[in-house]
Amino acid sequence: METVLIAFILMTLSGILLGCIIGAAAKFFFVKSDPRIEDVNEMLPGANCGGCGKAGCSDLARAIVAGECVPGSCPVCSLAVVGRIAAYLGVDAGSSVKKAAVVFCGGSNSKARKSVNYNGINDCISASLIAGGPKDCRFGCMGLASCARVCPFNAIEVIDGLACVHSDICTGCGKCIESCPRKLIRLVPETAPFHVYCNSPEKGVEKKKNCDVACIACRKCLKAAGEDQMKIEGFLAQVNYDNMPGADVIEKAACPTSCISSPENHFPGTLKKENAAR
Amino acid sequence: MSNLHHDDHIYFAGGVHPEEGKYLSESKAIQEAPLLDSYTVILNQHIGAPPKLIVKKGDAVKKGQLLAEAGGFVSAPVHSPTSGTVRNIEDCPGPMGVPLLAVVIDSDGKDEWGSSLEPIADWENTSPDDLKKRISDAGLVGMGGAAFPTHVKLSPPPEKKIDHLIFNGAECEPYLTADHRLMLEYPESVVEGCAIIARVLGVKNIYIGIEANKPDAIKVLREKAASFGVNIIALRVRYPQGAEKQLIYAVTGRKVPAGGLPMDAGCVVQNIGTAVAVTEAVKEGKPLFERVTTVTGEPLANPGNWKFRIGTPVSKAIELAGGVKYSPAKVILGGPMMGFAQKNLQVPVMKNTSGILLLSKEQLVQYESYPCIRCGRCVDACPMNIIPGPLSTMIESGEFELAEKNNLMHCIECGSCAYVCPSFRPLVQHFRRGKAEINARKRKMKK
Amino acid sequence: MTEEKVNLEENDTTTQSGVFLPKIEELVVSSSPHVHDNQTVRKIMLTVLLALVPSCLCGIYFYGINALMVIIYCVVFSVAVEVLWCRIAGKKTDTWKDCSAILTGVLLAMNLSAGIPWWVCLIGAGIGIGIGKQIYGGLGYNPFNPALVARVALLVAFPKLMTTWVPSRFMTENPVYDKIITYAPSAEQLKGKVIPFLSNTCDSITCATPLGVVKELSKSGVHNVSAFDAVSNTPMYWDYFFGNMGGCLGETSVLALLAGGIFLIAMKIIKWHIPVTYIATVAIFSAAIHAANPAITPGPLFHVITGGLFLGAFFMATDMVTSPITKKGMIIFGIGCGIITSLIRIWGNYPEGVSFSILLMNAVVPLIDKFTVTVPFGYKAAEKKVGA
């Protein structure tokens, strides 16, 4: 009984003592910080995706309050949230076009030739070191899901050996861009009506050997689109995202290889959670 | 194998002893490959600056004529393998899966000689600089694998004192027998080439290191070597005995400093094939447009050793070896430990193609990404004394700085670790990936 | 060629000259090397299991049918827990085929008394496979030896059960051991006889382990050499060596464990570094203390051949996943295990310290690995050069 009592008293005393020390320390070493940073941080999405180029959401909040960045720097926030932050701080919201990542390749397993079997690390960068990658096309998607694994929002899914971005989930943070050894992923305005799903600068004949849906630079789409709305670079048609063509171009151009497609048609169906990145 | 006599007493730690598989082709004499209709000569066959093309489409060329001249000091010229016309200059599939620029030559069937190099009969009284110029003009590169231009190795900076010249006849890669046959059939050329290179460098200590599993080659070379002052050393049979640093250690007992070159240990290492090519370049004025290559593997009907013109497609080489008895699961340029798996059989034979190896389905290694169980077998096998297993885990989880601190950059990619890994981890691929990432980061830092 | 046809038909891969070329679509590309020595995790585990067979047989021989049942329970439950866990976690359920769960089961059994009830085996297997291994991600990721995690957890949870030992079937015959064997009234008639192989006397006949006796003597303040002599004399040492004593069913027979351990070293599955340094450290440490004051603890031979030292040194401490990977690290690990074991045995509260010492050293393995990174070939020379 005596021992229990001693232990009890000792613990209580030391608890009170330590509590006092902590309380005193909090008073003496108090660092004054701007409470607005905490409030802005609350409003930001908190995904810490790094899409803004800062170390995370709280770092961006600090930068916004300090005036280094405009609230629109966050690529993930909706316009309403950006407006709320701007109103709270009384600053200009800054313009931000909602962008989404697009994988510029249509070469799924059923469309692109894959003459040999790859056996090795399940990672695109590593696979590209072995005989130039598993598929015959050296410029297309390898389908090993490196981008899907880095996506913080599970917006990328690999279907039939081809990475597809769910533009409704994609926040345009841009993390996937670095992970692709083929540089297939670019951020483009989400409102673009269609994309040219090909990345190969090779000649049409060469590309056609490797893939059914390659752009063969036939220029049909250029004729269908308005002036300066599309361009051709090295046997590869591209949408000019600063001056976007209308959705009717898909119909009018009647792309012979179906390389041109709207995001919805390119990737039918909804996100299957189990197929998305682990 | 342990009963084979070897006279090196210093062993490198680690290494493995894979099944040799040399019986398939070691008794087959070198055959001259018949003339083909066309050859695809890749321009950039060496490490260093790409050569400058000097022929154009439609040009008539002769055998041994210059197609492209050296594009710098660390570069080598390329010569035509036969007479004919230049059909085209186009991209052709390269051994690493990346297309490379190549000259396609349609043979006219006459095979007319047209080399501008004069034979040097009396090389013993020719100045070392003239000999070196000849070696450089003949387009000689290391024929063992790395394809480093030979004349660069023969031009050490003056502050490096070279006192040992070592020739690599180890041929530690399983299955390959090209060097073995060369030593058996051209022993004079081998030792004479050694002596010529020694004259260029002004070195007295000349060694040929041969793995003890080639007693016939050792015997033949010993008979020829004495008159040229060349020492033959029988080496312990252990992969990678032929790796530069391990070979130097076995022959001289010197360790090449980490991150250094053989010249830092006072040594120059050359391949046996290069020695033969040097003799031919000097005494016959013959540029490097053909080489001995082993075409082997269980699926082949008739494995053997052939003298191929540079630019012979792999498919033609396989055809020459009688084709396959059953479809193989892998076609490899080089040996099974360090060679590159191919996905296109139009890849041409290059100056450093020591072998074309076909593996059957049963021999296939199925790499899995099972976790490392830290059994330590890779640590025992690593000839560079690094710790491969945990290192691969670091790379897997993207910790490249940590991997660099744990000596990743010392890896010579010999494959001994992956050969013994019971988890079938693709260790070498991890290391290549890690090295590529670290080098990319370093380049970024420099910018 | 026609005789050797296997899967070739006339097709586009046939050349004009009639020979067959490889079919591109059957080719595989992968990183070098393209050959393998065919050693697999499964083969390694099976070899270790093979090395444990003599000890298992000894355990069964000395403790009867109950020992066999404990081994079977532990193995079956371990595999069941592994499969179940993988199924619930949505992982591949065929991981038990690598035999690591079977090995954990056998090792767990060897760490239990032959008289342990089946439900303790079940809890042990659950803790060992579940909390010891799968929770970290499965084989290769576990920081602690799963079998030891299970044993220590059981030891803490069921101290009475886990320290109740069954005597060997032949100890009851020898009056020397009468002092340390306790008979329930129902089993008195077996005194002086060999316990039958198939009988179930676990609850009625119990005994103390030699280490337990020494610990009791020390705790009760009886510090004299002659008291220790009751359990540490030459004829008894022979019994300990062959395994004719009370204790865990797999740890008692030094002879069988030594045979298995030497087999493993000869097969190059384990290296000599950990077992030799571990056992040597225990021997030297206890010898030093014994020499300083023989009344504190019996001599080194007693410490080496009693308890679970051989089982721990050859089979538990050498667990690949949880021990250092370099030889230098292994030596540090072995010495660390040896010191902690001796400290616990001589001054600790528990009679035996092998499990605790190995678990404690498991925890510092990442640290050991960090400080024992090998020097690459040729590295020293480079440093000298910079200095000069």
Q: Domain-by-domain residue ranges, chain C?
A: 41-162, 209-245+270-371
User: In angstroms, what separates the C-alpha of A184 from chain C's closest C-alpha?
Assistant: 23
Alpha helices per DSSP H over B63-186: 128-137, 150-153, 178-185
Location of structure tokens 């050499």:
C225
- What is the tens place of the pLDDT at every residue in C133-173? 999 999 999 999 999 999 999 999 999 889 888 888 888 88
For residue A122, count other CB atoms closer than 10 A to its CB. 13
Mean pLDDT over residues A165-177, rounded? 83
- Comparison of pLDDT for C11 and A158, the residue scoring more: A158
User: What are the Cα distances from residue C249, in Å, to B61, C73, C106, C289?
Assistant: 84, 14, 11, 29
| Percent of chain B whose pLDDT exceeds 90 | 74
CATH code of the domain occupying B1-35+120-361? 3.40.50.11540
Name the packing angle between helices B187-201 and B178-185 (round to 10°).
100
Contact (CB<8Å) B324/C22: yes
Q: Percent of chain C beyond pLDDT 90?
A: 57
Task: Round to whole Å and give the CA distance between B28 and B40.
Answer: 27
With 80 as the cut, is the pLDDT of residue B284 above it? yes
- Per-residue pLDDT band for A249 (boundaries 50, 70, 90) equals confident
Q: Which fold has domain A99-266?
A: Alpha-Beta Plaits (3.30.70)
pLDDT at C108 exceeding the cut of 90: yes
Which of C39, C140, C321 has its CB closest to that of B420? Answer: C39
CA distance C60 to C70: 10
Give the pLDDT band (50/70/90) at residue A224.
confident
Q: How confident is the model at residue B226 (pLDDT cuts 50, 70, 90)?
A: confident
Which residue type does B291 have? R
- Do residues A239 and A272 lie in contact, with contact meaning Cβ atoms separated by under 8 Å? no
Distance CA B1, CA B17 (A): 10
In B, which residues are within 8 Å of C8 by CB distance? Answer: 324-327
Three-state DSSP state, B165: strand
Tokens of B32: 């001259």
**Cα(A96)–Cα(A60) distance, rounded to whole angstroms?**
15
| CA-wise closest residue to C263 among C54, C79, C5 | C54
**Res B3: pLDDT:** 53
Confidence of residue C387 (pLDDT cuts 50, 70, 90): very low
**pLDDT tens, B367-390?**
987 899 999 999 999 999 999 999
- Lowest mean pLDDT, pick from A240-244, C12-16, C259-263: C12-16
- A123, B433: Cβ pair inside 8 Å? yes
- Encoding tokens for residue C84? 């179940």
pLDDT band for position A268 (50/70/90)?
low
> How is B96-111 classified by DSSP, letter by letter?
TSS-EEEEEEEE-S--
**Angstrom distance (rounded) from CA A211 to CA B119:** 52
pLDDT of residue B293: 95
More reliable by pLDDT, B310 or A206: B310
Give the pLDDT band (50/70/90) at residue A277.
very low
Going from N- to C-terminal start, the domains of chain A cover 35-89, 99-266
Residues of chain B positioned with their CB less than 8 A from the CB of C5: 325-326
What is the rounded average pLDDT of the residues A129-147? 86
Mean pLDDT of B167-195: 94
**Integer Rg of chain B from CA:** 21
Task: In chain B, list all ranges with CATH 3.40.50.11540.
Answer: 1-35+120-361
Of A116, A129, A130, the CB nearest to C27: A116
Q: Mean pLDDT for chain C?
A: 88
The 8-class DSSP code of residue A246 comes to P
**pLDDT computed for residue A159 by the predictor:** 85
pLDDT in tens, C47-56: 999 999 999 9
Question: Are the CB atoms for B373 and C321 separated by under 8 Å?
Answer: yes
**C-alpha angle A172-A94-A147 in degrees, rounded to nearest 5:** 10
How close is the nearest chain C Cα to the Cα of B340, in Å?
Answer: 7
Q: What is the pLDDT of residue A274?
A: 46
What's the CA gap between B153 and B141, in Å, rounded? 10
Question: What pLDDT shows up at residue A251?
Answer: 83
Mean pLDDT over the full length of chain A: 83
Q: Is the pLDDT of residue C74 over 90?
A: yes
Give the residue with greater pLDDT, B309 vs B99: B309
| B290, β-bridge pairs | B309
Distance CA C282, CA C343 (A): 9
Most confident of A48-52, A69-73, B276-280, C26-30: B276-280
pLDDT computed for residue C16 by the predictor: 63
Q: What pLDDT was estimated at residue C252?
A: 85
Distance from CA of C23 to the nearest CA of A (A): 9
- Of the residues B326, B345, B356, the best mutation for testing chain C's interface (the one with the most C CB atoms within 10 Å of its CB) is B326
Check whether domain A35-89 has CATH 1.10.15.40, yes or no: yes
Please tell me the distance from the alpha carbon of residue C13 to that of residue C18, in angstroms, as a whole number.
10
Residue C94 pLDDT level (bands cut at 50, 70, 90): confident
Give the amino acid at C205.
I
Residue C374 identity: T
**Cβ atoms of residues B149 and B76 within 8 Å:** yes
Residues of C in contact with B315 (CB under 8 A): 15, 21
- pLDDT (average), residues C333-356: 93
Flag whether pLDDT at C326 surpasses 70.
yes
Of A83-87, A213-217, C61-65, C291-295, least confident by mean pLDDT is A83-87
Determine the distance in angstroms separating the CA of C31 from the nearest CA of chain A, rounded to an integer. Answer: 6
Q: pLDDT for C254-286, tens place per residue? A: 999 999 999 999 999 999 999 999 999 999 999
For residues B196, B198, B201, B202, the Cα torsion angle rounded to the nearest 10 degrees is -110
pLDDT tens-digit readout, B43-85: 998 888 999 999 999 999 999 999 999 988 999 999 999 999 9
Please determine, for residue B335, whether its predicted confidence score (pLDDT) is greater than 50.
yes
Residue B2 has pLDDT above 50, yes or no: no
The answer to whether B178 touches B292, Cβ cutoff 8 Å, is yes
| CB contact at 8 A, A45 and A57 | yes
User: Which structure tokens are listed for C10?
Assistant: 């006339």
Backbone φ and ψ of A155, nearest 5°:
-95, -10
Whole-angstrom distance, CA of residue A271 vs CA of residue B276: 63
Q: Which of residues A3 and C306 earns the better pLDDT score?
A: C306
Does the distance separating the beta carbons of C25 and A118 come in below 8 Å?
no
Q: How many CB atoms lie within 10 A of CB C69?
A: 17
Q: Give the CA distances from residue A83 to residues A74, A168, A172, B51, C119, in Å, rounded to whole numbers and listed in that order.
A: 12, 21, 19, 60, 63
Of B419-423, C9-13, C84-88, the range with the lowest mean pLDDT is: C9-13
The mean pLDDT value for A150-165 works out to 87
ipTM score assigned to the predicted complex = 0.89
Integer Cα distance of C386 and C378 in angstroms: 13
Return the amino acid letter for A243: N
Q: Which chains touch C (3 or more CB pairs under 8 A)?
A: A, B
Is 60 exceeded by the pLDDT of residue C11? no
Of A38-52, A172-186, C206-220, the range with the lowest mean pLDDT is A38-52
User: Using the beta-carbon criterion (under 8 Å), do B433 and A132 form an inter-chain contact?
Assistant: no
Residue C7: what pLDDT?
47
pLDDT band at A94 (very low <50, low <70, confident <90, very high): low
Q: CA A17, CA A8: separation in Å to the nearest integer?
A: 14
B28: distance to nearest CA of chain C, Å? 19
In the numeric block, the tokens 């063969």 are attached to: A216
C-alpha span between A144 and A166 (Å, rounded) = 17
Q: Which residues of A touch B396 (CB under 8 A)?
A: 121
Q: What pLDDT sits at residue C13?
A: 57
Q: Touching check for B33 and chain C: CB below 8 Å? A: no
Query: Which residues lie closer than 8 Å to B57 by C-beta, 6 or more apart?
Result: B86, B87, B88, B89
B contacts of A123 (beta carbons < 8 Å): 433
Helices H, strands E: what count in chain A?
11, 9
Question: Looking at residues B145-156, what average pLDDT do you find?
Answer: 88
Cβ neighbors of B154 (< 8 A, separation 6 or more) are B132, B135, B197, B200, B201, B268
Q: Which amino acid is at C207?
A: C
Q: Which residues, 6+ apart, have CB-to-CB distance to A273 below 8 Å?
A: A154
Mean pLDDT on C377-388? 55
Mean pLDDT, residues A92-111 taken together: 80
